[in-house]
Homo-oligomer: A and B are copies of this chain.
Amino acid sequence: MTIEGKFQIGEVADAVGLSIRTIRHYDELGVVEPSGRTAGGFRLYTDADVARLQFVKRLKPMQFSLEEIHEVLHLLDRRAEVGLEPSDIERLEWFVATGQARCDVLRTQLAESERVVERLRSAAAVAS
């Protein structure tokens, strides 16, 4: 890190496991913007920014679009700042329900994938 708990994009990419391009893309869309920049224009990320990126990374496997993920982050921010209105809570509950459904899909896909791998394994084994 360069200055007082600020990380530049390469370190963040290694830490979180996202490509530099991806992190820049999230900035362009406003999903996760760096808290600051150096005088020369280098992006500077705080620990909180890194946590946001990690959160985005974990929402991706559930098939949420970046726009939806952006919305979730907004909702959580607003909850901490001014509190949630009924419509916000409804929206959050939609995310919970949808997320649950996507987890079920993931479970099914995992089970099927394991069976497919077994099938491929036996195809490779019997033939040798």
Residues of A within 8 A of B (CB): 55, 58-59, 61-62, 72, 75-76, 79, 83-84, 88-89, 92-93, 95-96, 99-100, 102-103, 106-107, 109-110, 112-117, 120-121, 123-124, 127-128
Contact = CB atoms under 8 A, between A and B. Distances in A.
A92 B58 contact: no
B117 A61 contact: no
Given A96-B124, A121-B96, A102 B113 contact: yes
A123 B100 CA distance: 15
A94 B102 CA distance: 29
A106 to B, nearest CB: 5
A112 B76 contact: no
